[in-house]
Amino acid sequence: MITKTDVKRSLLLLIFCPLFFTQIYSQLSSQRLHLDVRAGMTTGSPIVIGKIPSGATGQPGLGLNAGLELTYVFHPKFSVTIGGAYAKKGSSFSSPVSGKYDATRGVFGERFPFPLRVKYTGTVEASFDMTYLDFPVLLNLHLKKWWFGLGYQYSTMLEGSLDGSVDIKALLLNFNDRAFDESSNIKDYDHALILKIGRQLTKRFSIATDFTVSTQQLMIEMEDGFSNPRNVFINVLVGFKLF
């Protein structure tokens, strides 16, 4: 049964929808609102804040970055951008390690009932491999064909791993190629400051570079100097204006 309330709601909807789409169309027609698809590469690495072990080395990774950006131009020189992107981020490293190791289980297996923990030294070789959805929000300054953006980025991790192998020396014993896996200690979100520089190449195409630094400490909770790395990554993206 159709009530008066249903009729009122339907009338309000009929009035609101044309007004809403008329407003969107007017913004698009005046070129104040535009949507861009962007794709490119990401490079960088989690960076340890604090004491880095002597002899540690690292290599930045390279991954795909692709997504959409919606920009609203509210002044000839200023605009606001919100976006969403799929991003692969990672790196590899080699580092000296030290601590306590159960030597008896290293020799006789994990089920040996009598642990003997002794001091060890060694070298770990591992890699970060992380997949994120990035959601940046930027305030942009436009200077002719160039623009500069500053803002905040929230990232949620779809999947991530931190694993590899470690060679250990304990007492007179050597344990090589032992499994190293700290994947469970990677937090599934990240917060970052983002700085972006771009240039409009043609009416449709543009190119941009952005630099992100994670503001969140303790992303990886580990011992021996790896307790507070931050994600530091650079994206190089080509954009195509859809409308």
Quick one: pLDDT band at residue 189, thresholds 50, 70, 90? confident
Q: Check whether residue 24 and residue 60 sit in a common domain.
A: no
**How many domains in the chain?**
2
Q: Check whether residue 19 and residue 111 sit in a common domain.
A: no
Q: What pLDDT is recorded for position 128?
A: 86
Q: Check whether residue 112 and residue 231 sit in a common domain.
A: yes
Q: Check whether residue 18 and residue 41 sit in a common domain.
A: no
Q: Check whether residue 23 and residue 61 sit in a common domain.
A: no
Q: Check whether residue 23 and residue 82 sit in a common domain.
A: no
Q: Check whether residue 36 and residue 10 sit in a common domain.
A: no
Q: Which two tokens stand for residue 127?
A: 């890699």
Q: What residues have CB less than 8 Å from 88, skipping those under 6 apart?
A: 42, 63, 64, 65, 130, 131, 132
Q: Check whether residue 192 and residue 82 sit in a common domain.
A: yes
> What's the rounded mean pLDDT across residues 34-49?
87
Q: What pLDDT is recorded for position 112?
A: 61
Q: What residues have CB less than 8 Å from 230, skipping those under 6 apart?
A: 46, 47, 49, 213, 214, 215, 216, 217, 219
CATH number, domain with residue 120: 2.40.160.20
> 209: domain range?
32-241
> What's the rounded mean pLDDT across residues 191-209?
92
**Residue 91: Cβ within 10 Å count:** 24
> What's the rounded mean pLDDT across residues 55-78?
90
- On whether the CB atoms of residues 42 and 66 are closer than 8 A, the answer is no
Instruction: Give residue-wise pLDDT tens across range 8-38.
Output: 554 455 555 555 545 555 555 456 898 999 9
The fraction of the chain above a pLDDT of 70, given in percent, is 71
**Residue 26: Cβ within 10 Å count:** 11
- Positive or negative, the CA dihedral 188, 194, 197, 203 is positive
Q: What does the longest C-alpha to C-alpha distance in the chain come to?
A: 88
Query: SS3 for 89-153, per residue?
Result: EEEEEEEEEEEEEEHHHHHHCCCCCCCCEEEEEEEEEEEEEEEEEEEEEEEEEEECCEEEEEEEE
Q: Check whether residue 17 and residue 84 sit in a common domain.
A: no
Q: Check whether residue 54 and residue 140 sit in a common domain.
A: yes
The residue that leads in pLDDT, 230 or 200, is: 200
Q: What residues have CB less than 8 Å from 243, skipping those under 6 apart?
A: 28, 34, 35
* 184, amino acid identity: S
Q: Check whether residue 41 and residue 69 sit in a common domain.
A: yes
Instruction: Give residue-wise pLDDT tens across range 201-220.
Output: 998 999 999 999 876 544 45
Provide the 3-class DSSP secondary structure of residue 218.
Answer: coil
Q: Check whether residue 68 and residue 179 sit in a common domain.
A: yes
Q: Give the range among 36-40, 168-172, 190-194 with minimum mean pLDDT.
A: 168-172
The fraction of the chain above a pLDDT of 90, given in percent, is 35
> What's the rounded mean pLDDT across residues 57-61?
85
Quick one: pLDDT band at residue 47, thresholds 50, 70, 90? confident
Measured between alpha carbons, how far is residue 144 from residues 70, 148, 197, 213 in Å?
20, 11, 13, 27
